Chains A and B, each alone.
Chain A
């Protein structure tokens, strides 16, 4: 009886060890997938705020350029008006 059980037991024991090994690997794969998802999301949100700031800056610069340029404004001389 013991002789019969031993190889089977060993096999089953080995199988459990294998399964634990596989389980460790698959849970790490899931962690990697979760990390990738959250990284993606956080990166996108940061890039979006960056985008907003950039657009705001661009509009301000456009306005300032318009103010400074001679096309859109006039520069009156110091002194009394006509």
Chain B
């Protein structure tokens, strides 16, 4: 379907309503139609003038170029007649000193940008509806992304591609460094490699699970610009193939370039800690947040387990870990009424306060957790828990701290110290990461040409060395 550049405005000639109380309606319609025709003619003439104007401007630029070319030719002609082969010049040494001829190839950049829209298209764009003023919400965000970007981001694809390119160049550089190190000492390098492979495999699984959520709903949100990650076939292509794919389809989603948010490591430590939290948190107040931890889909309803939970809560003992190790995932942590209310439903919810903190503190969007059941958990009707709007955990904690029983308080202090330590750790990480990222934002030209040229330079210099494709194949 061709893009409409110009629209002739009164589209329907006789669709106007005939006013009441007119004797000869047929004539009325005819007259209305004729006046609409006149309006159409006027808009047609406006568009025609626009068309001819654009063509005229282009032809004018060509006229200017042709004129300058003509001048150059004339000068050249004069110069050539003045050339004299009998004039002596310095011979062999000077050849190498001369600057080699390189034709000035100007690469067209930003061809299809906002600035280069033709005036008619710009007019149409301006006359259309504006998007909602989501920019006002930017002040309320924790990370510094423009709220409008989540609605509509014109630079999304370019940013995606740019990140991918930069990441690729970084990866290439690291590979080269690694290869150099390997050449020096073989033993340590093999160890490093194995560890890397393992890590990559784990990350892959986590990433797949993360991808089940929408970008916003992911619990662990490391990057402020949350670029969605698709399946990566990056490693399977050769460097040339990769470059080609870069040229051909810019918007191919990339997965692996990124160090995945350390979900696995955090999840591991959260597993350990949340078990302790279970016994600690016994509040009468209703649970405010639940986080569906996407890692384990198997945590479904175990009525027996929930009873165990309830019993444990009553006891306040830290016995559960033994039971959980086998089947259950990190048990739900917030509020005793949850199990009691939901033993009927069975209790598939998993609330992990530490990870929830992660989600809020570092992550991107201020809305911590999605009250959306992951696809695996369709066995329970959405319990009354998640519908309550997710409040920020510190507030929640404060409220719960006040409502908690006396017996839970001393236990909680130990836990809260842990929690605060975790929070601090996470915050530290976040700041560090941001600083790293900012430092990484070296003066990169924001245009395709420089980025591509840099990438190609790294690529070709790397292919001179023995580029190792084994590792990449492993990762796929």
Report which of A47, A75, A82 forms a contact with B59, defined as CB distance below 8 A: A47
- Give min CB distance, A10 to chain B, whole Å: 11
User: 1/0 per position for A10-26, CB-CB distance to B under 8 A?
Assistant: 01101100110010011
Chain A residues with CB under 8 A of B91 = 74, 76, 81-82
**Which residue in A11, A51, A66, A75 is a CB contact (below 8 Å) of B62?**
A51
Segment of B99-107, B356-364, B380-388, B407-415 in the binding face: B99-107
Docked pose: A82 CA to B95 CA in angstroms: 14
Q: Main SS of chain B's interface residues?
A: helix
Instruction: State the interface size on chain B (CB cutoff 8 A).
Output: 44
Whether a CB of chain A sits under 8 angstroms from the CB of B88 is yes
B374 CB, min distance to chain A CBs, angstroms: 52
Instruction: Return the chain B residue nearest A55 by Cβ.
Output: B65
Instruction: Given the known inter-chain contacts A29-B44, A47-B58, please indicate yes or no for A22 contacting B79, CB distance below 8 A.
Output: no
Q: Is B452 in the interface zone, CB < 8 Å from A?
A: no
Task: Compute how far the CA of A77 lies from the CA of B425 in the bound complex, rounded to whole angstroms.
Answer: 77
**B 22-45 binary contact with A (CB < 8 Å = 1; else 0):** 001011001001100100110010
Q: Is the interface of A mostly helix, strand, loop or mixed?
A: helix
Cα–Cα distance between A40 and B59 once the two chains are bound (Å): 12
Q: Which of B54-90 contact A (CB under 8 A)?
A: 55, 58-59, 62, 65-66, 69, 72-73, 76, 79-80, 83, 85-90
Q: Which residue of B lies closest to A43 (CB)?
A: B55
Contact B55 A22 (CB under 8 A): no
User: Is the Cβ of B86 less than 8 Å from the Cβ of A78?
Assistant: yes
> Assuming A11-B26, A61-B72, A74-B98, is B44 touching A33 (CB within 8 A)?
yes
Q: Tell me if A73 and B98 are in contact (CB < 8 A).
A: yes
Question: Is the CB–CB distance between A63 and B101 below 8 Å?
Answer: yes
User: Is B8 an interface residue, CB under 8 A from the partner?
Assistant: yes
> Are A62 and B104 in contact (CB-based, < 8 A)?
yes
Determine if B62 and A50 form an interchain contact, defined as CB atoms under 8 angstroms apart: yes
List chain B positions with a Cβ less than 8 A from chain A: 8, 13, 24, 26-27, 30, 33-34, 37, 40-41, 44, 47-48, 51, 55, 58-59, 62, 65-66, 69, 72-73, 76, 79-80, 83, 85-92, 94-95, 98-101, 103-104
Given contacts A51-B62, A54-B65, 9 further A-B contacts (CB under 8 A): A15-B27, A22-B13, A54-B62, A65-B76, A72-B98, A72-B101, A77-B86, A78-B85, A82-B92
Pull 15 A–B residue pairs with CB atoms less than 8 Å apart, ordered by A. A15-B27, A18-B26, A22-B34, A22-B37, A29-B37, A43-B55, A61-B69, A61-B73, A64-B76, A68-B79, A74-B95, A75-B87, A78-B85, A81-B91, A82-B91
